[in-house]
Amino acid sequence: MAPLSQALNPQPAPSNKDNGGSYTYHGVLDPDWASASVPNGGYVLGLLVKAGILCQRTTKHQDPVHVTGHFIRPSFASGYQIQVSVVRRGSRFTNIVANFIQNEQTKVMAHMIFGTLPALDAPPSSAKYEDIPPNHPLYHSIPMFSHPSASKVHRFPGGLVEFEKHAQRGEDIAIIARNRSKFVDAQGGGLEAGIWVELMGKEEELEFSMLPFFADMFERTPTLLNHAQGEEWAPKRFPTVLITLEFKRQLPRRGTPGISHRTVGLYSRNTFLDHGRHDVHCEIWTAPDGIGEGGQPNPRDEGWKRNMRCIAVTTQLALTVPLDLKSSTPQIGVKL
């Protein structure tokens, strides 16, 4: 029943004070952060990231650099325990493993690498071939076409998400429309999408532990294919099997000029779809404004793109399963 910053709130156990590299956290999954009554996988992984951040907050490696999450069993809105173990503390990185446990069963396993991330606007390295800076002709700038202030709020796909009171999305129509054009003008195949996602609470501010949730908000390959072909389609669920997430830099803070502190842009490339199993590569970018906020920019003025930075990249493996609308739960669970 809480905004994302409050829902990501694992509590340390008293035994964490002197534990030799092992830590325990506990809490209750917030039922608001679910889809069809099943907790969002990115939200659950975000709890593991938050637990890792808590156990690293007094060390020199306080920033998550890379996270891999394996989703073994479906979780549910109830109490949980997180067990965190430090595998190695090195000069550059700290390696951590974490398990999300409910009813004495491991639901999600994560391997996390912690280190120190550069500032959002950090200058490039002085060493040769260590950066492609924004002024380089080969720099990959934000691929979104539409400014978020020009976007309209769209409901999350499926209409069965409980967190619409806390987050909203806006589509980059121009990117999604290109999927239809590929039927008549082949452009290398695959599907793509661009959306803006905004946390609606005025007090919300981007945190590293929120990025797994955003990483799980991309447009699903079967859904994009269905929209491109314009056919009727029975509701489906897309349970996550695996997520990887690489954090690129520090996040924008409240008051950062020209950058929103609670909105991100997601650009995804969806390539393969085999018997419902699909992959995605998604870029998570800063956003210049909230959805539908501010003045309407000149569509030909792309100057706003120069200040946007990629804050994370993510890949995901997911399945396609039928949805029982009567019970609003998936008919099968995910098992590796």
Mean pLDDT along residues 64-90: 96
What is the Cα–Cα distance from 29 to 19, expressed in whole angstroms?
A: 25
Query: Please, what's the b/e burial string for 163-188 (b: 16 or more CB within 10 A of its CB; e: otherwise)?
Result: beebbbbbbbeebbebbeeeeeeeee
Report the interhelical angle of 173-181 vs 221-229 (nearest 10°): 70
Backbone dihedral angles phi then psi of residue 232, each to the nearest 5 degrees: -70, 145
**What are the angstrom distances between the C-alpha of 72 and each of 7, 19, 239, 243?**
22, 27, 10, 12
Strand partners, 246: 66, 313
- Coil, strand, or helix at residue 39? strand
Q: Name the E strands within the chain.
A: 11-12, 22-28, 34-35, 38-39, 63-71, 79-89, 94-102, 105-115, 153-154, 167-171, 191-199, 236-237, 240-247, 263-270, 273-274, 277-286, 310-318, 321-324, 329-330
Tokens 């990629």 -> residue: 310
Give the per-residue pLDDT at 180: 82
Mean pLDDT along residues 71-89: 95
Q: How many CB atoms lie within 10 A of CB 202?
A: 7
Is the distance from CB of 285 to CB of 217 less than 8 angstroms?
A: no
Give the per-residue pLDDT at 287: 96
Q: Give the confidence band of 189 by pLDDT, cuts at 50, 70, 90.
A: confident
Is the distance from CB of 204 to CB of 295 less than 8 angstroms?
A: no
Is the distance from CB of 179 to CB of 187 less than 8 angstroms?
A: no
Backbone dihedral angles phi then psi of residue 22, each to the nearest 5 degrees: -115, 135
Domains delineated in the chain: 4-118+143-330 (2.40.160.210)
What is the Cα–Cα distance from 199 to 204, expressed in whole angstroms?
A: 7
Query: Please, what's the b/e burial string for 97-123 (b: 16 or more CB within 10 A of its CB; e: otherwise)?
Result: ebbbbbeeeebbbbbbbbbebeebeee
* Cβ within 8 Å of residue 215, ≥6 positions away: 42, 243, 245, 282, 284, 312, 314, 316
pLDDT at 151 over 50: yes
Q: Give the confidence band of 160 by pLDDT, cuts at 50, 70, 90.
A: low
Is the distance from CB of 174 to CB of 195 less than 8 angstroms?
A: no
Q: What is the DSSP letter of 44?
A: H
Average pLDDT, the chain: 89
Q: Specify the range with the lowest mean pLDDT, choosing from 81-95, 104-118, 187-201.
A: 187-201
What is the Cα–Cα distance from 99 to 102, expressed in whole angstroms?
A: 10
pLDDT at 80 over 90: yes
> pTM for this one?
0.92
Closest to 251 in 3D by CA, of 239, 260, 242, 241: 260
Strand partners, 316: 243, 280
> How much of the chain, in percent, has pLDDT values that exceed 70?
90
